[in-house]
Structure 1
């Protein structure tokens, strides 16, 4: 029987590219998204089932898994891709926005994973690929909540990999950095950019930080297809490797975090994003 992968957040970007790649490689694909009408192009592929899944709605998780099993009879791999970035000064972000960030990027991943695990255990195998971010390895200003959620995902995935290794279920982290992830830094969509016009004390800092993010965006060099290729490789390489970095570290953030003494690293990052002008 052909293998089957369930992918969250498959309506666009990395998720859609991953769905297309798995289908091209002969897999059955359960491409899930909040609005299935956004996946009509994927549904046209014969081996792709497009179905609704909102990671913040447990009932929709169970329904999507049931639909995938009914259509294909098995699920062999899970790609937790759904997520978004909450941007803005922490002081401008409401508690409700904090909760929503973790509901999607952390608790949603946990809920989908928990729902799939009984099927993996019954089969005696499985692989989980969690799409993380460079912001789960290093932090940047103005995205404190996104960083917090991705750091949580990194810690959860690493600890879970020890548990599930006992069940022959692999856990993988694919970590885009310096490219696709960075293109979101300069977005100003209302639902992702917390605003508080009274916080004028931060104005100079925000201007410097936005300029730095603009330079990072201009330097992007990675496509969704590039990330999808790494996701597919992680899901199929048969190893117990946990982390897969994908991107251009031209800014040096990854190398600095890995190689520098702790305070030297902090000093390096403060030079990139100066607290004071």
Structure 2
């Protein structure tokens, strides 16, 4: 009897956080893992794990995306693409430069779209395959001073939902994992902050609330969210969205229960308190 070929997952953004945790988890389940990152030569641990290959990939580089996809297919094919690379951005719109905005859109949105496009021919030819996209609870709700980040995550939500219809007709799946807060370096190494003096006090108040140690205690470990990614990859369900983490589930349930307008008032009150007055025109 012929042994079944181990499945292969291609992961973007594997150098830290969720991507790294997912690479280790899938490898522990005897998957072949192609872990991509901008500087694989700096990675020591993943390179030692059985079945893990490190590829260089900057998802803002279209040529490098094509090269990585071609190399992965030539190495034996891919069963799952986990689009995980991305980062956070906070700050008032007036405080963000064009360069910051373009980098965010190119990474969080277009990087995922281009990586997906590069693998569709492979999946279409073999009439099977699965894309899993990391969005965020920030693709279902918003908080102040994260407008560009939310723009990319809400765009990914809509794009993924539409693509799920399109790809399903070809035998290809698409799923979304929507984590809440994670105990990673997201708010340090992975956060880009834009500032403008007119908003400094308000921004400091909002960032203080988000990074309050008591709030961060409610966040999930990346290993917990990686388990949800593994579930999405292996459960065989016709399910689009996987809200991941207790805080994300509670926040999204609150939005559904209150409705959009009441939820937005609650968020405004949470972050701005007595300064939560609104201006209507």
Q: Same fold (TM over 0.5)?
A: yes
Matches within 5 A, 1:155-170: 155-170=158-173
Select the residue among 99, 103, 106 that pairs with 1:103: 106
CA deviations over 1:174-217 (Å, ceiling 9, x no partner): 11114447x734x3x69711133xx2x32332232122113364
Deviation (angstroms), 1:222: 1.0
Equivalence for 2:81: 78
CA deviations over 1:11-52 (Å, ceiling 9, x no partner): 111111111111111111111111111333212123111011
Equivalence for 2:279: none
Select the residue among 45, 60, 63 that pairs with 2:49: 45
* Structure 1: gaps (5+ residues): none
Question: SS of the residue aligned with 2:211?
Answer: helix
* Structure 2: gaps (5+ residues): 277-281
- CA RMSD in angstroms comes to 2.0
Select the residue among 118, 129, 134 that pairs with 1:131: 134
Equivalence for 2:195: 195
Which ranges of 4 or more aligned residues in structure 1 deviate by more than 3 Å? 178-181
Bigger Cα displacement from structure 2, 224-233 vs 35-44: 35-44
CA separation of 1:195/1:21 partners in 2, compared to 1, >3 Å: closer, same or farther? same
Equivalence for 1:4: 8
Equivalence for 1:212: 209
Q: Is residue 179–residue 248 contact of structure 1 (8 Å, CA) maintained in 2?
A: no
Taking the aligned partners of 1:250 and 1:116, their CA distance within structure 2 comes to 30
Q: Is residue 138–residue 154 contact of structure 2 (8 Å, CA) maintained in 1?
A: yes
Matched, 1:18 2:22: yes
Matched, 1:32 2:19: no
Equivalence for 2:263: 265
Taking the aligned partners of 1:46 and 1:213, their CA distance within structure 2 comes to 38
Question: SS of the residue aligned with 2:177?
Answer: strand
Q: Is residue 178–residue 250 contact of structure 1 (8 Å, CA) maintained in 2?
A: yes
- Calculate the TM-score normalised by the size of structure 2: 0.90
- Calculate the TM-score normalised by the size of structure 1: 0.91
Q: Is residue 14–residue 224 contact of structure 1 (8 Å, CA) maintained in 2?
A: yes
